């Protein structure tokens, strides 16, 4: 297991921006003694790689709601990086081990009452997660087996294909506006790429959480499947995508996503500063504190 958070994520994970045909290599970094690893579990994500199929599963298991904390994001990036560099791995299925929740999105406790340095580190980790997942060379399939608001929705949107459990009780969407905050431009870009401008404009302004059937209708998820068929369907989808030659598929994926990825890469520091100055506002801090209070009351 890797000591998380010892170094700022961005320092020892190689910068995103390489061509898809040149996968980055952690092995080039002498300070990290990573053994090529076939199956590993850290605290918050269970990774299993089936070497015969070339398909790995990343199971988010950070109860109660798989919120994207700094630790979670760091572990996520490390796990993804390992798989990206593992020649035995060609595809990743992303799913949740927590009942009824895929991921609840960014961990609000990371955004409340912390230092400027902490906000910067946290935001850089959120960016890193998206840059790596949306730009991954592997085939990425999300099994959305529960609700998936805000950052959880982004996680799903960053995959190549989205299968959601056929249950109208579960919903998905970029509902940031409901919390009085604004989805960053690259959340928006990813959303527009999936559902088009008009649907995104309306959904983002209303902070909509779309029940599964609606999510499929607007193209936010690709398919609805009964709970018991999720795994089977994901494997079938994966087989379809892995039937393509990796190189051609990767270059095609890169061509489709490059403009939007490049935009964050070009404005990354600015985006961090924007986040810090926004989140540091007393009015926003107050909103978030109230929201957390509400969540606590709801629980008890």
Q: Which residues bind its own copies (CB under 8 A)?
A: 160-161, 176-183, 185, 188, 192-198, 200-202, 204-207, 219, 222, 240-241, 244-245, 247-249, 251-253, 255-257, 283, 287
Half-sphere exposure of 223 (CA within 13 A, CB side): 17
- To the query of whether residue 251 is one of the catalytic residues in this protein, the response is no
Here the tokens at position 171 are 């919903």
Active site residue 106: yes
Minimum CB–partner distance for residue 219 and its own copies (Å): 6
Smallest distance from its own copies to CB 193, Å: 5
Shorter beta-carbon distance to its own copies: residue 2 or 179: 179
Q: What is the DSSP string of 43-100?
A: SSEEEEEETTTTEEEEEE--TTTTEE-HHHHHHHHHHHHHHHH-TT--EEEEEESSTE
Least Å distance, CB 197 to its own copies, is 5
Task: Output 72 or 186, the one with its CB closest to its own copies.
Answer: 186
Is 137 a catalytic site residue?
A: no
* From 66, 137, 145, 175, active-site residue: 175
Q: CA-to-CA distance for 4 and 196, rounded, in angstroms?
A: 37
Estimate to the nearest angstrom the gap between the alpha carbon of 176 and the chain centroid.
16
As a whole number of angstroms, the distance between CA 69 and CA 106 comes to: 6
Segment (H or E) for 39? strand 39-41
Q: Which is nearer to its own copies, 17 or 196 (CB)?
A: 196
Q: How far apart are CA 77 and CA 79, in angstroms?
A: 5
Burial class for 95, CB neighbours closer than 10 Å (0-12, 13-18, 19+): buried
Residue of 80, 106, 220, 224 marked catalytic: 106
Q: Catalytic residue at 151?
A: yes
- Active-site hit among 137, 145, 176, 220: 176
With respect to its own copies, which residue has the nearer C-beta, 98 or 131? 131
Cα–Cα dist 197/78, whole Å: 33
Give min distance, CB of 287 to its own copies, in A. Answer: 8
- Out of 151, 152, 173, 207, the active site residue is 151
Q: Which is nearer to its own copies, 59 or 249 (CB)?
A: 249
- Residue 200 CB, shortest distance to its own copies, in Å, is 7
Active site residues: 106, 151, 175-176
């Amino acid at each position: 297991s890797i000591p998380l958070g010892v170094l700022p994520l961005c320092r020892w994970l190689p910068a995103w921006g390489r061509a898809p045909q040149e996968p980055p290599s952690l092995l080039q970094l002498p300070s990290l003694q990573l053994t090529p690893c076939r199956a590993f579990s850290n605290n918050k994500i269970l990774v299993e790689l089936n070497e015969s199929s070339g398909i790995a599963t990343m199971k988010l298991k950070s109860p109660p709601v798989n919120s994207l904390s700094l630790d979670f994001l760091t572990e996520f990036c490390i796990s993804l990086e390992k798989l990206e560099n593992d020649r035995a791995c060609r595809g990743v299925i992303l799913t949740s081990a927590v009942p009824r929740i895929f991921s609840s999105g960014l961990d609000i406790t990371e955004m409340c009452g912390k230092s400027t340095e902490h906000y910067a580190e946290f935001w850089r980790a959120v960016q890193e997660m998206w840059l790596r997942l949306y730009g991954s060379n592997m085939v990425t399939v999300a099994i959305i087996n529960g609700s998936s608001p805000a950052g959880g929705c982004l996680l799903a949107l960053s995959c190549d294909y989205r299968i959601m459990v056929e249950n109208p009780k579960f919903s998905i969407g970029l509902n940031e506006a409901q919390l009085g905050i604004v989805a960053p431009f690259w959340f928006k870009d990813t959303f527009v790429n999936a559902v088009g401008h008009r649907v995104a404009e309306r959904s983002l302004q209303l902070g909509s959480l779309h029940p599964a059937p609606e999510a499929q209708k607007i193209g936010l998820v690709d398919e609805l499947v009964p709970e018991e068929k999720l795994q089977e369907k994901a494997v079938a989808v994966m087989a379809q995508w892995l039937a393509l030659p990796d190189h051609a598929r990767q270059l095609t994926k890169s061509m489709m996503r490059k403009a939007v990825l490049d935009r964050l890469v070009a404005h990354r520091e600015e985006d961090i500063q924007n986040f810090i100055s926004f989140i540091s506002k007393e009015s926003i801090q107050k909103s978030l504190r109230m929201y957390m209070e509400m969540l606590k009351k709801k629980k008890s």
